[in-house]
């Protein structure tokens, strides 16, 4: 039985389900169910379960450490597209050039992540972490491959890198002004790689989409 008002509205007025239709339900925690709608009214939808399967969470982490952009709309696009592309963790990070140092309207951001997860039928909802200062990131670097992009100072073209498909990946995307020379040096110090995507300087949201696409689907 479905009684959540938001889901009821979506199924009845957005997706236009009717009695007799078959639908797929995901819980964001690995649960995948399908069922046929038996009854539908203002307060509830009753389903006849066809099948249910519980999937194990992938062992590999794809973490996006992203500076908070100046414009809320930019952050929303980043969260939406990163979710669609398959990140497991999203961590807002504060760097020297960040002009915004707090999360505004977190409830809306979480809704965007949830909506993007549903739209692309992901089995697991990405985890949205509290804000992390760059210094803390450097003090306790994550396991696996650490990557960050910079058009001025780079080691390699991202498309030429060979990345072990079994290793965790942490992608660091700096703010509109980029990471400072010291921050880039700190990335090097903890074993990270600085890459370039091409000959042009990309906007934050474009860099996130392009880098994740290369890392996840370019091999």
Chain-centroid distance of CA 101 in Å reads: 20
- What are the CA-CA distances from residue 30 to residues 18, 27, 42, 121, 216 (Å)? 26, 7, 28, 11, 21
Token pair for 188: 């090097």
What's the rounded mean pLDDT across residues 132-142?
96
The per-residue pLDDT for range 160-172, each reduced to its tens digit, is: 888 887 889 999 9
pLDDT band at 63 (very low <50, low <70, confident <90, very high): very high
Number of domains observed in the structure of the chain: 2
Place of tokens 């973490």: 63
pLDDT at 219 over 70: no
What's the rounded mean pLDDT across residues 94-121?
92
- Within this chain, do residues 40 and 140 fall inside the same structural domain, yes or no? no
- Within this chain, do residues 177 and 76 fall inside the same structural domain, yes or no? yes
- Within this chain, do residues 141 and 74 fall inside the same structural domain, yes or no? yes
Percent of the chain with pLDDT over 70: 99
Tell me the torsion sign for CA atoms 88, 92, 95, 98: positive
- Within this chain, do residues 87 and 133 fall inside the same structural domain, yes or no? yes
Domain hosting residue 180, numbered range? 62-217
| Residue 32: CATH number of its domain | 2.40.240.20
| Residue 149: CATH number of its domain | 3.40.1280.10
Chain-centroid distance of CA 203 in Å reads: 17
Q: In 3D, which of 115, 113, 92 has the Cα closest to residue 104?
A: 92
- Within this chain, do residues 143 and 170 fall inside the same structural domain, yes or no? yes
How far apart, in whole angstroms, are the C-alpha atoms of residue 109 and residue 65? 15
pLDDT at 115 over 70: yes
The per-residue pLDDT for range 17-40, each reduced to its tens digit, is: 889 888 888 888 888 888 899 888
How far apart, in whole angstroms, are the C-alpha atoms of residue 147 and residue 191? 9
pLDDT band at 119 (very low <50, low <70, confident <90, very high): confident
Q: Look up the pTM and report it.
A: 0.86
- Within this chain, do residues 29 and 78 fall inside the same structural domain, yes or no? no
173: Cα within 13 Å, side-chain hemisphere: 28
* pLDDT of res. 112: 95
- Within this chain, do residues 144 and 167 fall inside the same structural domain, yes or no? yes
């Amino acid at each position: 039985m479905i009684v959540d008002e938001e889901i009821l509205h979506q199924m009845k007025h957005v997706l236009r389900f009717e009695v007799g239709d078959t639908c797929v339900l995901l819980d964001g925690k690995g649960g995948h169910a399908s069922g046929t709608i038996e009854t539908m009214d203002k307060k509830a939808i009753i389903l006849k379960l066809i099948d249910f399967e519980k999937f194990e969470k992938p062992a590999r982490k794809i973490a996006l450490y992203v500076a908070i952009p100046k414009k809320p709309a930019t952050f929303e696009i980043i969260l939406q597209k990163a979710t669609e592309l398959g990140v497991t963790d999203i961590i807002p990070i504060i760097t020297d050039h960040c002009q915004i140092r707090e999360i505004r309207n977190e409830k809306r951001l979480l809704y965007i992540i949830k909506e993007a997860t549903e739209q692309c039928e992901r089995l697991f909802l990405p985890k949205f972490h509290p804000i992390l200062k760059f210094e803390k990131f450097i003090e306790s670097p994550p396991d696996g491959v650490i990557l960050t992009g910079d058009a001025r100072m780079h080691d390699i073209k991202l498309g030429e890198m060979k990345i072990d498909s079994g290793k965790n990946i942490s992608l660091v995307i700096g703010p509109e002004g980029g990471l400072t020379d010291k921050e880039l040096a700190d990335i090097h110090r903890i074993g990270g790689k600085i890459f370039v995507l091409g000959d042009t300087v990309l906007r934050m949201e474009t860099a996130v989409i392009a880098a994740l696409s290369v890392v996840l689907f370019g091999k």
